[in-house]
Amino acid sequence: DAGVIQSPRHEVTEMGQEVTLRCKPISGHNSLFWYRQTMMRGLELLIYFNNNVPIDDSGMPEDRFSAKMPNASFSTLKIQPSEPRDSAVYFCASSPLRDTEAFFGQGTRLTVV
Amino acid sequence: RKEVEQDPGPFNVPEGATVAFNCTYSNSASQSFFWYRQDCRKEPKLLMSVYSSGNEDGRFTAQLNRASQYISLLIRDSKLSDSATYLCVVRGNTGKLIFGQGTTLQVKP
């Protein structure tokens, strides 16, 4: 199994631009998570999907952030417009069931200048 | 109050030492518990699940106290390769997976 696949691995963009991060979960996994990690705030849960349906988006910082999961094998996290304070590592993770561990992708390192 | 709280450390210990990490969680309906390890600039990876009866995996022992909402990890005979950040993780009854801030361990020769 290829594991959770995220793209791009690195993204540098200018303030005000739209950024789209992509995630392919492990096949057969029902839950998908998007996290953001910074030194100051640690690993923050942004949104959690179960069977492609958003269950909890209380961690999404503001309206500039949106996430979709159109099918079981693909999810996107979009930031529009991006700001320098959005600079962080964004992780996607998936898990097979609602009470099991999650497996992480390698992350996308986002820098907004 | 954070949903999962850990002492951020850092813990600096010599090789061979025993070190313990603690964690508390606020949601009494939480169902599953884990310890993850994260190396610098890498993704978090599962170290071990935590069961109510306590469980051991080699040099690592995890304990759960549901009444006190407390989780612990004990590392015996520390190795240089154990240097990393250890993350306490709680999964609630909705399936939401919440990470603590992490505890940094540095094992020195």
In chain B, which residues have their Cβ closer than 8 Å to the Cβ of A33? 97
Does residue B106 surpass a pLDDT of 90?
A: yes
pLDDT tens-digit readout, B57-96: 999 999 999 999 999 999 999 999 999 999 999 999 889 9
- Say whether A45 and B45 touch across the interface (CB within 8 A): no
Q: Does the pLDDT of residue A5 top 90, yes or no? A: yes
Residues A26 and A94: beta-carbon distance below 8 Å: yes
The phi and psi torsions of B19 (rounded to 5 degrees) equal -135, 145
Chain centroid, CA A96 distance in Å: 17
Q: Distance between CA B31 and CA B90 in Å, rounded?
A: 8
For the four alpha carbons of B77, B41, A98 and B92, in that order, the dihedral sign comes to: positive
Residue B2: band (very low, low, confident or very high) from pLDDT cuts 50, 70, 90: confident
pLDDT, residue A99, reads 87
Which among B43, B46, B95 has the least Cβ separation from residue A50? B95
Residue predicted with more confidence, A11 or B2:
A11
Do A56 and B94 make contact, defined as CB atoms within 8 angstroms?
yes
Task: Tell me: pLDDT of B1 over 80.
Answer: no
Enumerate residues 31 to 90 of chain A having a beta carbon within 8 A of any beta carbon in chain B.
31, 33, 35, 42-43, 45, 48, 50, 55-56
Instruction: Give the pLDDT score at A37.
Output: 97
Size of interface A-B (CB pairs under 8 A): 52
Mean pLDDT throughout B10-37?
95
Residue A1 has pLDDT above 70, yes or no: no
CB contact under 8 A, B46 and A48: no
Residue B66 has what DSSP assignment? Answer: T
